[in-house]
Chains A and B, each alone.
Chain A
C-alpha cells in the first residue's frame, strides 16, 4: 500500500469515495511513512492517533454517504498553528512544552472538512529564516540531493518541514505560512506547489504571530488542484481576526481551467537581476512560452520600486516581530529562566529562549521603532510600501497575472549561507507580493543541471487566486514535472 502515499489529494479523495481503499488504510500507510522518515527531521511531533481518529470518522461517514470534502486526507500542520493539546512551539525553545487549550481557525477548518493530522512540521524559529536552520529542533534535511552527492540540502524556509514532508510523500498536503516567501521559496526548493492567498483570506487567529500585516497561511501540496482543494477548506471569514476578509470563499477547484485565452501575463523587467543563474532565467523564458501556448498574451510591465522591497520588508517585518514577540516573557507560557527581579527574569528568559536570528530581528525591530528613529525607518518604509502597492495597482491595469522565477537559486547546502544579508536575498522575488498583500504561488517548472527543482512564481491581483491557480495549472500541464526525490532516508 506504499503507493497510496504517491497519490495526490484529489486521487486519494476519489479512491476513498469509490471504495478502492479505506481512510484507515491511508492513515496507517502515512503514519508508517512518517515514522520511517526521521532522518529528514521534518516533524517536531508525530500524532498518529489523531490521523487514525479522523480516518475512522471518515470511514464511518462514508457508510452513511455524507462526506466532508477532506474526509480521509492526512495532513501535516506547520508548528506555527496552535493545535489543541498538541505541542505548538513555532520552532522555538521559548515555547517549549506549550500545549494550546485552543485550535487555530485554519487547522480547525481543516478538521471540520474531515482532514486528519499526522503531526506538527518543523520550521525556522518563529518563521524567521529561509533555510530551516534557525529551528530549535535542528534543520529539516531536504529529501532532494544533488546528482552524485550526499551533501544535506535545505528544503528552504520557513515552511521547510511542510515542503520536505510533501516532497517526500510523508504528508498528502501541509499547511504553510508566508510572511515574505515562506510558502513559495520552500515549495520551489522541494519541487511542489504552494500558494499564499490574498492577505485576509485565511484567518490568522491561532497562528503564532510574526509580522501581522504580512502573515498569511496557505496550502502546500503536490499539485495545483490539491492546493485549490486545501485552500477552499482553509479560507473563510473569521470574526476573531480583525483583518479577516468578510467575503464568501470562491470554489477554486471547480473554477480550475488551464485555458488562458484573453488573459494577459505581465513580465516585470525589474525582476531580471544580476547574479541569477542562467538556468533560472531560461526557465522563466520557458514559462512565458508555456503560458502563451495556453492562450495568454504577454505584456512587459514595470514595477519600479522592486529593488526597495527587501529593505522595506527588513524594516517592517522586524518592527512588527519585536512587538509581537514581546509577549514571550516567562510569565504565561513556555520557558522561564530566573534572574534578578522581574526584569532580570524577562531578560534571562528571552536570552535563553530565543535563537540568534530571532534576537537579531528583535534588535533591528526595537531599534527602528525607538524614539528618534521611528520616522526615519518605520514611517519611511511604510511610505515605500505604499509605492510598491501602487506599482502593482498600475501593473494590474495592464495585465491579469505576473510571471517571475520563485527564488534566485535552487536549494543550497545546509551551512553554506552564513551571512544574514545573503540569506535574506532568497526572498527577493517573493517579498514584493507579500508587501502588497497579493495572492502568489510557486509551481515546479523543471530540474536544474544538478537535478534540483526550480519553481515559477505567479502573482495575481487582489482576491484573484483563481487566475493564479489557472496559470499555475497551465504551467503544470505543460512542464510535465513529475520528478520526486529518490528515497535515501
Chain B
C-alpha cells in the first residue's frame, strides 16, 4: 500500500495540521518510506494471536465516582491563551 498526495492531504486534515502543497508533496514519499518499511510485519504469522492489550498483567482498579479535587477553576484556566467569564474562549462556532 502506498499513500497518494490526496490521502496525505486527508490525513493532515484529520490530524488538524495545516500544510501547504509543498509540505504535502515532501511528506508523501517520507511517509511511504516508513509505511513500506513497517509493512514487513506482513511476513509474521499472527493467526490465532490475541493482540496485546496490557504489557504487564494487572487488574484495572475501580474507585468511587466522587470529586477528588475540585474548586480549582482559576488554576485550570491559568495557562489558557484566552479565558472569558471563567471559561476557555474559542473562536465562534455557531453563526
A residues whose Cβ falls under 8 Å from a Cβ of B = 97-101, 198-200, 213-214, 239, 242-243, 245-246, 305, 308, 311-312, 314-315, 322, 326, 329-336, 338-339, 341-348, 350-351, 354, 359-360, 362-364, 366-367, 370, 373, 376-377, 379-387, 389, 420-421, 435-437, 462
- What would 30 A/B residue contacts be, using CB atoms closer than 8 Å? A97-B79, A98-B79, A99-B78, A243-B58, A246-B61, A311-B38, A311-B39, A311-B41, A326-B16, A336-B81, A338-B91, A345-B90, A346-B16, A347-B17, A350-B17, A359-B17, A360-B34, A362-B17, A363-B17, A366-B11, A370-B11, A373-B1, A376-B1, A380-B41, A383-B44, A383-B49, A383-B50, A383-B52, A385-B52, A437-B56
Select B44's contact among A246, A305, A322, A334, beta carbons within 8 Å: A305
- In B8-23, which residues have CB < 8 Å from any A CB? 8, 11-19
Contact of A351 among B19, B46, B50, B51 (CB under 8 A): B19
A421 with B55, Cβ < 8 A, contacts A239-B61, A335-B81, A380-B41 known: no
Cβ < 8 Å to A, chain B residues 42-84: 42-44, 46, 49-56, 58, 60-61, 63, 72, 75-76, 78-82
A249 to B28, CA, bound (A): 47
Contact of B81 among A330, A379, A381 (CB under 8 A): A330
- Taking a contact as CB atoms under 8 Å apart, the answer to whether A421 and B34 are in contact is yes
A101 proximity list for chain B (CB < 8 A): 72, 75-76, 78-79
Query: Please, how many angstroms separate the alpha-carbon atoms of A314 and B35 in the complex?
Result: 9
Beyond the given pairs A311-B40, A332-B88, A385-B51, 9 more chain A to chain B contacts, judged by CB atoms under 8 angstroms and listed by A's residue number, are A308-B44, A332-B80, A333-B80, A359-B17, A363-B27, A367-B7, A386-B49, A387-B49, A462-B56
For B18, list chain A residues within 8 Å (CB).
339, 344, 347-348, 350-351
The residues of B with any CB-CB pair to A shorter than 8 Å are 1, 3, 7-8, 11-19, 27, 30-31, 33-35, 37-44, 46, 49-56, 58, 60-61, 63, 72, 75-76, 78-82, 88, 90-93
Q: In whole Å, how far is A437's beta carbon from the nearest beta carbon of chain B?
A: 3
* B40 → A minimal CB distance (Å): 6
Is A314 touching B55 in the complex (CB atoms < 8 A)?
no
B23 CB → nearest A CB, Å: 9
The residues of A that contact B27 with a CB separation of less than 8 Å are 359-360, 363
Nearest B residue to A434 via CB reads B55
Q: Select from chain B the residue with minimum beta-carbon distance to A328.
A: B16
Q: How distant is the Cα of A359 from the Cα of B52 in the complex, in angstroms?
A: 26
Q: When the two chains form their complex, are residues B12 and A363 in contact, meaning their CB atoms are under 8 A apart?
A: yes
For B52, give its contact among A351, A363, A389 (CB under 8 Å). A389
Measured CB to CB, the closest approach of chain A to B92, in angstroms, equals 8
B31 partner residues in chain A, CB cutoff 8 A:
360, 363-364, 367
Q: A311-B40, A384-B46 are in contact. Are A351 and B60 (CB under 8 A)?
A: no
Knowing A383-B52, A387-B46, the reply to whether A420 touches B34 (Cβ < 8 A) is yes
How many angstroms from the CA of A208 to the CA of B61 in the assembled complex? 22
- Tell whether A421 pairs with B15 under 8 Å between CB atoms, given A308-B44, A341-B91: no
Is A363's CB under 8 angstroms from B15's CB? yes
Bound CA–CA A343/B15 (angstroms): 11
Q: Which residue of A lies closest to B17 (CB)?
A: A350
Q: Which of A214, A366, A373 has the most CB of B within 10 A?
A: A366
B94 to chain A minimum Cβ distance, whole angstroms, is 10
In the bound assembly, the distance between CA atoms of A101 and B72 in angstroms comes to 10
Q: Give the Cβ gap from A203 to chain B, nearest Cβ, in Å.
A: 13
Specify which chain B residues have a CB less than 8 angstroms from the CB of A344 in the assembled complex: 18, 91
Q: A249 to nearest B CB, angstroms?
A: 16
Given A360-B30, A383-B52, A350 contacting B44 (CB threshold 8 A): no
Which residues of the partner chain A approach B44 to less than 8 Å between Cβ atoms?
305, 308, 383-384, 387
The CA of A334 and the CA of B80, in the complex, are separated in Å by 7
B46-A314 in contact (CB<8A): no
Q: Does A380 lie within 8 Å of B46, measured CB to CB?
A: yes
Bound: A348/B40 CA distance, A? 35
Q: In the complex the two chains form, what is the Cα distance from A420 to B91 in whole Å?
A: 36
List, in ascending order, chain B residues with CB within 8 A of A389's CB.
Answer: 52, 55
> Across the two chains, which residue of chain A brings its CB closest to B8?
A363
A385–B50 Cα distance when bound, in Å, is 10
User: In the complex the two chains form, is A383's CB within 8 Å of B38's CB?
Assistant: no
Contact of B17 among A354, A380, A437 (CB under 8 A): A354
